[in-house]
Amino acid sequence: MEQYQRVVLFGGVYNNYLALQQLLKTCDRIGVDAIFCLGDLGGFGPHPDRCFPLLRDGRVLTVAGNYDISLAQGEEDCGCGYTDPRDNYFAQVSYDYTFAHTSDENKAWMKTLPPQRRFLLGKHSVLLCHGSPRRTNEFLWESSSPDHLLEKFATDYEADVVCCTHTGVKWHRTLPQGRNFVNVGVIGRPENDGQPQVWFAVLDQDGDRFRCRFHPLEYDHEQLAAEMKQEGLPEEFIATVLTGWWTTCLEIMPAKERQRGKF
Ligand SMILES: [Fe+2]
């Protein structure tokens, strides 16, 4: 198994090639052993095909998200797992646009992505997945993920550190026996905190202890918003990019996370 000292992790690109470009530049600047994407390359933003050359040229090691599996298999929806009709309406608009604008070559490439990846960070074994180790589209929110569930994932899947994304909101929890659970967040859209920046995670060690730090990433969000407008994407999505407040995907969010937002 590959062993690293310092890695960058991020999830949910959501077609945001401008944030991805900026992140890869940041990785060059800070110096990392490897870069991992935890899946969901499409959805939400403009020009889906622009992300793939960046991922390949940047040697980003990618895990399949529900979105990537749906696109690769020609499914009719994103398989995100929303339950509210309004959330599903916007998810469908986004999926139909992304499906129509993703090349067959890139869909075939997504088919090759593994559902999980493993590596060593120093002596800590790390497992990467998209939603949870047991389900690609499981939503693991900070407020609704009890310690015993996270510990069960770590023991059942034999990892000291388990990392996921899918919800779009980052968090980290230290568990007993030196185990850790991390939701790495997403770079595709802001975190419902009123700021246009997005977030990624850096994992390394402080001495022998596992360390996870989240970093904000600024990118040209006004340019992204302008391109979304040109592509006829929903005003609701554009507002999120410009203001940092979510306007959709809200019904699936637990009350505790939702009350931090504006809507
Ligand atoms: Fe997802």
Ligand 1 center from residue 80 Cα (angstroms) = 6
Looking at residue 249, what is its pLDDT? 87
How far is residue 154's CA from residue 168's CA, in Å, rounded to a whole number? 21
Ligand 1 center from residue 245 Cα (angstroms) = 19
Ligand 1 center from residue 207 Cα (angstroms) = 33
Looking at residue 147, what is its pLDDT? 97
Looking at residue 252, what is its pLDDT? 87
Ligand 1 center from residue 229 Cα (angstroms) = 24
Ligand 1 center from residue 130 Cα (angstroms) = 7
The DSSP letter of residue 21 is H
Ligand 1 center from residue 167 Cα (angstroms) = 7
Looking at residue 82, what is its pLDDT? 86
How far is residue 101's CA from residue 262's CA, in Å, rounded to a whole number? 32
How far is residue 101's CA from residue 47's CA, in Å, rounded to a whole number? 7
Looking at residue 208, what is its pLDDT? 92
Ligand 1 center from residue 71 Cα (angstroms) = 12
CA-nearest of 102, 103, 101, 19 to 60 is 19
Ligand 1 center from residue 241 Cα (angstroms) = 18
pLDDT along the chain (263 residues), means of 10: 97 98 97 98 98 96 98 95 91 97 98 98 98 97 97 98 97 96 98 97 96 98 98 97 94 90 89
Ligand 1 center from residue 92 Cα (angstroms) = 14
Looking at residue 251, what is its pLDDT? 87
Ligand 1 center from residue 52 Cα (angstroms) = 17
Ligand 1 center from residue 214 Cα (angstroms) = 19
Q: Is the pTM of this model over 0.75?
A: yes
Looking at residue 158, what is its pLDDT? 98
In one-letter notation, the amino acid at residue 241 is: V
Number of C-beta neighbours around residue 11 at 10 A: 31
Question: What topology is assigned to 3-111+183-258 in CATH?
Answer: Purple Acid Phosphatase; chain A, domain 2 (3.60.21)
Ligand 1 center from residue 91 Cα (angstroms) = 11
Q: What are the residue boundaries of the structural domains of the chain, listed by start?
A: 3-111+183-258
Ligand 1 center from residue 248 Cα (angstroms) = 15
Ligand 1 center from residue 179 Cα (angstroms) = 24
Structure tokens at 108: 């075939």
How far is residue 176's CA from residue 188's CA, in Å, rounded to a whole number? 32
Cα angle 207, 213, 25 (rounded to 5 degrees) comes to 110
